[in-house]
Amino acid sequence: MAFEARPFTVEIPQSELDDLAKRLDLVRWPEKETVTDWTQGVPLAEARRVVDYWRNSYDWRRCEAQINSHDNFLAEIDGLDIHFIHVRSKHEDALPLILTHGWPGSVIEFLNVIAPLTDPTAHGGTADQAFHVVIPSLPGYGFSGKPTGTGWGVQHTSEAWHKLMLGLGYDRYVAQGGDWGSAVTTAMAINRPEGLAGIHLNMIVGAPRTDTQMADLTDDEKAKLQKMQHWSAKERGYSEEQSTKPQTLGYSLVDSPVGQAMWIYEKFHGWTDRTTDSPADSFSLDEILDNIMVYWLTATGASSARMYWESLNKWPSDMNDLPTAYSAFPGEIFVPARRWVENRHSNIVYWGELDKGGHFAAFEQPEAFVAELRKAFATMR
């Protein structure tokens, strides 16, 4: 499929940054939480700390320059503009790789892994570990277009990503993803488009089959199942709201920068591998705010949530027999047992278990993430 890849530069008008500053100055705070932890959400003192830094110290132009230091493009696929970063390796035999983020992530997650993936010889690797890297923004996310009709869920996106790779001239490639990126990448594997050689996931769905696997759970599996059940019972409210009433939610997220920021910041607390009670234990405030700014400046609070409306209860469930690799980061939302995963993925060629890291693997542990991809795709080249 041929298409025109139009060069794109992120250029946020100063008026947008001035408007943000005014809104932050006029924030109306809720009262303090009635607990001493995060069980009611982001504590007021933490929110005030983040917003004070955002208003008085944060520099968007630094982030903008970092994004623009790579080649950015827009391409119309199925009537929708898709934004993507595309960096080719200097090594001719590099393996084309498409990386897909999820919510509440963005292409920001992958900025620090581009160089070691495309230029491994300068980052502790060898030439035969090189990748050509493609990093798209999901439909309705970041700098991609916002769908004006229904249908842009996981399945449609997975088909669009194949068209993107073919349009860039890659007739053989691999795919990687976490969160919604995991769903899109899994759907690509199930589709088995000609040219997709295999996939890597840093979040994978799997549960015990009640008829055969519940009766003999190991202690480790019991702990994994308990973690999954806790998330389902106590932590998935955001997904229920986004999957049922994304438009109503959008009025708050698109209008209030603090509302949008805390909607995301809470997840950087709950989904990372921390040793303290602050997300800044795993990321700098600059990094977290870079990601939040992509949502705020593009006003994608509603459009990004619609992926949940489209696909939350339609996670790819058919058997995938394409070569599949998985890296388990301990701070992930849930980490299923391998035999549960094999209920859906019959051709697991690599299974890595890390001792540190969480949901935003490439963002939180870039060196470990790169090492995992090098090992995972070694057998798929």
Q: Which of 83, 86, 132, 359 is catalytic?
A: 359
- Cβ atoms of 166 and 103 closer than 8 Å: no
CB-based burial, 187-216: b 16+ in 10 Å, e otherwise: bbbbbebeebbbbbbbbbbbbbeeeeeeee
Amino acid at 121: T
- Cβ atoms of 120 and 45 closer than 8 Å: no
Residue 70 is a catalytic residue:
no
Q: Which of 141, 238, 265, 308 is catalytic?
A: 308
Distance CA 127, CA 258 (A): 45
Evaluate the omega torsion of the peptide bond into residue 7 and state whether it is cis, within 30 degrees of 0. no
Angle among Cα 75, 79, 83 to the nearest 5 degrees reads 30
- Cβ atoms of 178 and 359 closer than 8 Å: yes
User: Which SS3 state, helix, strand or coil, does residue 140 take?
Assistant: coil
Distance CA 78, CA 3 (A): 11
Could you write out the three-class secondary structure of 37-99? CCCCCCCHHHHHHHHHHHHHCCCHHHHHHHHHCCCEEEEEECCEEEEEEEECCCCCCCEEEEE
Q: Helices (DSSP H) in the chain: which residue ranges?
A: 14-25, 44-56, 60-68, 114-118, 154-167, 180-191, 219-230, 237-244, 246-255, 257-270, 285-298, 301-311, 338-341, 361-364, 366-376
Residue 179 is a catalytic residue:
yes
Distance CA 296, CA 254 (A): 7
Angle among Cα 93, 126, 102 to the nearest 5 degrees reads 75
Q: Which of 119, 179, 273, 290 is catalytic?
A: 179
Angle among Cα 169, 170, 175 to the nearest 5 degrees reads 145
Residue in the block written with tokens 């570990």: 129
Report the catalytic residues: 179, 308, 359
